Homo-oligomer: A and B are copies of this chain.
Amino acid sequence: MKRNERLIDFTNHLINRPNQMLNLNQLSKHYEVAKSSISEDLVFIKRVFERQGIGKVETFPGSLGGVKFSPDVTDELAKQKALDIIKLMEEDNRILPGGYIYLSDILGTPKNLKSIGQIIAHEYLGKDVDVVMTIATKGIPIAQAVAEILDVPFVIVRRDAKVTEGATLNVNYTSGSSSRVENMTLSKRSLSIGQRVLIVDDFMKGAGTINGMKSLVHEFDCFLAGVAVFLEGPFRGERLVEDYKSILRVDSIDVANRSIDVKLGNIFDKNLDLFEEKK
């Protein structure tokens, strides 16, 4: 394979193995060229990936040396992707009876999910996330999008235990807005002791559900790596969880005029980085 062709194949190879350490000797064997040629290729790839905001390419020296591609967007691109979603959110006809917001179309479109995954992964890249956790149903596509970029598994908490989950660990939680006690459950074998868990969800108001997942993380003897939600809704009073990141924020819903005011969430607010301060 000539260099031109190898660069094309190598680019694809890296993009499809995000956050995985690839051994340079194996790559050299795979492409049937000297390790030095692979290293030269990587100089090109690294330059383009970093300049074009595709992600970071790190090379590690030594006989066990390797290369790792971490897909990442720039701050600006992350913000632009969020603004693009705001445009979709402001479309007419999205306000449902009771002031709920219809989101299923946005969260059922691969392009949007990829953007959401990139924005959240951008925040937690390099922060040692072992596993992404969410609760069924609408958080699942978000968890999957984030997990794909970080190259970690994701686990799905449910409100009711299923026979296909085996032994489960259950916790009770109260929602932030009422004091009704509810139950959530996760398969016992989903997490291992000491794992760092990133909680994601589609929507948060009083943060009761998030708080329930936090207590699950604790009961599994795991650590919380962070909390990120797609949309933070209007809420009066104190939320049960303070350390969270949101991509978008809705402060008010005007049901009569069928309009909502969507703003960028606190993930873009670098000065109010509560989670970082408390660490």
Contacts and interface: CB of A to CB of B under 8 A. Distances in A.
Interface in A79-128: 96-98, 100-105, 108-111, 113-114
Interface size grouping (class) on chain A: 35 or more
Interface stretch (A21-29, A158-166, A172-180, A264-272): A158-166
Contact of A100 (B1, B144, B164): B164
Interface stretch (A145-153, A217-225, A242-250): A145-153
A54 interface: yes
A39 interface: no
Given A15-B15, A144-B144, A108 B7 contact: no
Contacts of A54: 9, 12
Interface of A: 1, 3-5, 7-9, 11-12, 15-16, 44-45, 47-49, 52, 54, 96-98, 100-105, 108-111, 113-114, 136-138, 140-141, 144-145, 147-148, 151-156, 158, 163-166, 187, 189-190
Given A11-B15, A96-B165, 19 more contacts: A3-B4, A4-B44, A9-B48, A9-B54, A11-B12, A12-B15, A12-B52, A15-B16, A96-B166, A97-B166, A103-B164, A104-B155, A104-B164, A104-B165, A110-B147, A110-B148, A136-B136, A137-B140, A138-B164
30 contacts: A3-B4, A4-B7, A8-B8, A8-B11, A8-B45, A8-B48, A8-B49, A9-B48, A9-B52, A9-B54, A11-B11, A12-B48, A15-B15, A100-B164, A101-B164, A102-B164, A102-B165, A102-B166, A103-B164, A104-B156, A105-B190, A108-B155, A110-B147, A110-B148, A113-B144, A137-B140, A137-B158, A141-B141, A144-B144, A144-B145
